[in-house]
Amino acid sequence: MKKILITGAAGFIGSALCRYIRKHKLAHIVGLDNMGYAASREALSSLGHDQHFKLIEADIGDSEHLQSILASEQPDGLMHLAAETHVDRSIDNPEIFLKTNIMGTFTLLEAVRHYLPTLNDPQRHGFRFLHVSTDEVYGSLGATGQFVETMAYAPNSPYAASKASSDHLVRAWHTTYGLPTVMSNCSNNYGPFQFPEKLIPLMITKAQRGEPLPLFGQGLNVRDWLFVEDHAEALYLIFTRGRLGEKYNVGGGSEIRNIDLLDQLCQLLDEALPTSAHRPHKNLIRHVADRPGHDERYAMNFSKLNQELGWHPKTSLPDGLRQTVTWYLTHKSWCDTIHQRYSGERLGNVLPLTRK
């Protein structure tokens, strides 16, 4: 059984990926995470007694530590998910996004570039590096159309710009140095263990407490939602079978306006909490000033992934939302612990500069 090094292993998507791989006994895992504010050891608790899973606290910006880990663990491949991910935080503090997402990816690429020549021929030829990215690198769509892999990049937020930069680094290290890389770009994820700065868990946790549900602008922005467990399956397929040097879009096929998504969440909460003093929960919705540079619409065309690797999302949005609401309502202690670190305050509330 091969050994995979997974960065960002205690994050939302990273932990789901670790659980998926070990559930199906697909590989040994060495997980790396700097255990920042959004990391969750609880998300990996089901792997606590798994002899084929190890979690190492490490930062991808620490070159010396990375090289030591690669030399000692001798992984057969690497799946890179470590990143700063929240758009609103990137508006408040873009520097950490550039350090982690750009320089961290550069440091990781260089560590792998120097690691590969130390391997024997079969291991070196079988090594693969998956870089996990976002649909936000493509910018904003109008009312029609979808993002395809050949589309030019047009990032509009510091977060998106940092991820676009890291994508370009990965492409360049493949072309220039021959690193065996493959890339994925995904739509909005949701599901268990997501840090509640993100839209869906933020609304669920606020509604439970009877707090106002802040909705940017009129709530007309459209997103394509992907259940995290479906994403984990796609990532493993791309990592193991995707063509080197290629990129694959991963989408949920579930476009919906934010206002309509929130309406569905409120209906599910009304059903799940019939005695709540806050029913109907949609009365908690409050329209607030829009996010600066808020992209109008995202929609992913994942036909390449479907045609080449046979993947398609298995979880419909209604089913995924119901599972997600149930999970948060039955894991109140986890939510309360997170609430001590992040109480749901608005981030990224910065007025853009204007020209006179």
Domain boundaries, the chain: 3-194+226-253+296-315
Better pLDDT: 342 or 137 = 137
pLDDT tier at 356, thresholds 50, 70, 90: very low
200 three-state secondary structure: helix
- Enzyme catalytic residues: 135-136, 159
Arithmetic mean of pLDDT, 75-103? 97
Range with the poorest average pLDDT among 110-119, 218-227, 341-350: 341-350
Mean pLDDT score across all residues of the chain: 96
Per residue in 52-75, pLDDT (tens digit) is 999 999 999 999 999 999 999 999
* pLDDT(87) > 60: yes
The number of CA neighbours under 13 Å toward the Cβ of 16 is 19
Arithmetic mean of pLDDT, 222-246? 98
pLDDT value, residue 341: 87
* pLDDT(343) > 90: no
**Residue 351: how many CB atoms within 10 A of its CB?**
7
pLDDT tier at 351, thresholds 50, 70, 90: low
Asked whether the bond before 192 is cis by omega within 30 degrees of 0, the reply is no
Q: What is the C-alpha radius of gyration for the chain, rounded to an integer number of angstroms? A: 20
Taking the C-alpha atoms of residue 311 and residue 250, their distance in angstroms, rounded to an integer, is 9
* pLDDT(355) > 60: no
Give the helix, strand, coil percentages of the chain, each rounded to 5. 45, 15, 35
Q: What percent of the chain has pLDDT over 70?
A: 98
* pLDDT(354) > 60: no
pLDDT value, residue 348: 82
pLDDT tier at 352, thresholds 50, 70, 90: low
pLDDT value, residue 185: 98
Q: Do β-strands 188-190 and 255-257 pair in parallel, antiparallel, or remain unpaired?
A: unpaired
Taking the C-alpha atoms of residue 256 and residue 246, their distance in angstroms, rounded to an integer, is 29
- List, as one string, the DSSP characters of 26-72: --EEEEEE---TT--GGGGGGGTT-TTEEEEE--TT-HHHHHHHHHH
pLDDT value, residue 300: 98
Third-level CATH fold of 3-194+226-253+296-315: Rossmann fold (3.40.50)
Arithmetic mean of pLDDT, 248-262? 98
pLDDT tier at 143, thresholds 50, 70, 90: very high
* pLDDT(223) > 80: yes
